Amino acid sequence: MKREVNINHLTRVEGHGAVNIVFENEKLKEIKLRFTEGPRFFEYITRERLYTEIPKIVSRICGICYVSHRLASISAIENAFEVEITPEIKLLRKLLVVGECLESHALHLYFLALPDYMGYPSTIAMAKDYPNVVKRGFLLKEIGNKIMKLIGGKTIHGENILPGGFKSVPSREQLQKVQEDLYKAIPEIKATISLFDSFDYPKFNKEHPISLCINGDKFALLGDSLGLSDGTLFTKKEYELFIEEKTSTYSTAKYSTIKGKPFLIGPLARINHHINNLRPETKEVISTLKTSFPSYNSLHANVARAIEMLELAFEGIEITEELIASTPFKREVEIKPKAGTGYGVKEAPRGTLYHRYTFDDSGRCISANIITPTAQLQAIIEKDLADLIEFSPDVDDIELRKRAEMLIRAYDP
């Protein structure tokens, strides 16, 4: 006997998706997670484009995390042309990343995930009973938005971020205001961590086969070295040697594996990997939680997101202190195009992002490859959905749909 459980439109996710689960004689036969956006051919569009055009083109891949695409592409461009940026430009980019993650994580936690755990269909429906919780979400999101607007030029698709630096840089007074906002964010983020730690998270999945994130001596969302949970380290130039991409017959996203296995990326992978590298202030908060790390429960990604917000807010305060002391500083360095290939990696809010470009001697793009978090998440989410069914053998179809959506939303795909 054949039975199908279909979710034709995944709600409260930042893309477009659907799920088809097929049982035969009450045993799982197949799971198909479909990301259903039409192909947009960004890699093809970049061909023959001048290097200055590429960041603004590829940033349109995502309106939420345009900063990640912009910085990954700029990193690859600077790598190809052997450009050395100043310490202040590096710090300003890190501060921009703080803003991006505060905005994106607040959006996900309060407006996409939280209604599942509070028993409401949406945040709007929740606002009547929990106005202060919803206000907290708006406050944190706005602090992130203000940082992105100040440094990036706009909240969405800002054009102030350039290869070599920025068109303009903030004043000392503007940086001081950012620092004040980040201090205000700290207690609100701690309340966010406590809120998401308070929920009961059923065990939905087995241990992840392997996980991936940027490696280093401290928690970082920008870098050149990657680390796997099995201890393997590799450089950004080796990314395509480790990430195996295949096309899928039922999804526009590619199906990615490492060593033939699905792999975890994103906040849970990062906190698991860097749990001993976090600031003492963050570790102190973690020590009070009932959720423990490293964790292999995918639903704990929401607690990990909130922890990342705290770690990044502390980092942002330190960065502004350094930048204020260095003001005024040089906003950009000179770029001289030449033939070559460059590589850029960046931890986007939902996972590791990779850009690679080859240029001719005039700085025009010959070829490109972009591996997005969505393309890397499909395999691990399907694996988790199979585990979910194994852990939930007696639930009816309505409850199965609900649990499947909650699990997928935890990845913020």
- CATH code at position 357: 1.10.645.10
Could you tell me if residue 11 is inside a domain? no
Q: Say whether pLDDT at 37 is over 80.
A: no
308 in Cβ contact with 270 (< 8 Å): yes
Share of the chain above pLDDT 90, in %: 81
Could you tell me if residue 379 is inside a domain? yes
Q: How many residues does the chain have?
A: 413
Confidence of residue 38 (pLDDT cuts 50, 70, 90): low
DSSP run (H or E) holding 2: strand 2-7
Task: Give the mean pLDDT of 328-333.
Answer: 95
Could you tell me if residue 319 is inside a domain? yes
What is each CA distance from 113 to 126, 131, 221, 261, 265, in whole angstroms? Answer: 12, 16, 23, 27, 18
How many domains are there within the chain? 1
Torsion of Cα atoms, 8 then 353 then 311 then 109, to 10°: -10
DSSP string, 95-112: HHHHHHHHHHHHIIIIII
Could you tell me if residue 30 is inside a domain? no
Check residue 12 and give its pLDDT. Answer: 77
Could you tell me if residue 7 is inside a domain? no
DSSP string, 363-413: SBEEEEEEE-HHHHHHHHHHHHHHHHHHH-TT--HHHHHHHHHHHHHHT--
Could you tell me if residue 32 is inside a domain? no
Confidence of residue 302 (pLDDT cuts 50, 70, 90): very high
Higher pLDDT, 51 or 16: 51
Q: Say whether pLDDT at 252 is over 80.
A: no
Could you tell me if residue 10 is inside a domain? no
d(Cα 266, Cα 274) in Å, to the nearest integer? 12
pLDDT tens track for 379-405 = 999 999 999 999 988 889 999 999 999
Is 43 one of the annotated binding-site residues? yes
Could you tell me if residue 288 is inside a domain? yes
Is 65 one of the annotated binding-site residues? yes
Q: Say whether pLDDT at 373 is over 80.
A: yes
The mean-pLDDT minimum among 64-78, 139-153, 206-220, 250-264 falls in 250-264
> Which alpha helices (DSSP H) does 275-335 contain, by range?
280-286, 301-326
What is each CA distance from 195 to 104, 307, 411, in whole angstroms? Answer: 18, 12, 18
Residue closest to 386 by CA, chosen among 124, 29, 18: 29
Q: Can you tell me which residue has the tokens 């989410």?
A: 381
Confidence of residue 6 (pLDDT cuts 50, 70, 90): confident
- What are the phi and psi torsion angles at 370 (to 5°)? -125, 125
Domain of 368, in residue numbers: 42-410
Total-model pTM? 0.95
Pairing between β-strand 233-235 and β-strand 161-162 as defined by DSSP bridges:
unpaired
Confidence of residue 115 (pLDDT cuts 50, 70, 90): very high
Q: 312 by DSSP, 3-state: which?
A: helix
* Residues in contact with 73: Cβ distance below 8 Å, sequence separation at least 6, in sequence order: 54, 55, 58, 59, 344, 355, 357
pLDDT tens track for 40-52 = 688 999 999 999 9
pLDDT, mean over the chain: 94
The mean-pLDDT minimum among 17-31, 102-116, 144-158 falls in 17-31
Higher pLDDT, 291 or 5: 291
pLDDT tens track for 191-214 = 999 999 999 998 888 999 999 999
Is 62 one of the annotated binding-site residues? yes
Check residue 255 and give its pLDDT. Answer: 86
Confidence of residue 357 (pLDDT cuts 50, 70, 90): very high
Task: Give the mean pLDDT of 364-378.
Answer: 94
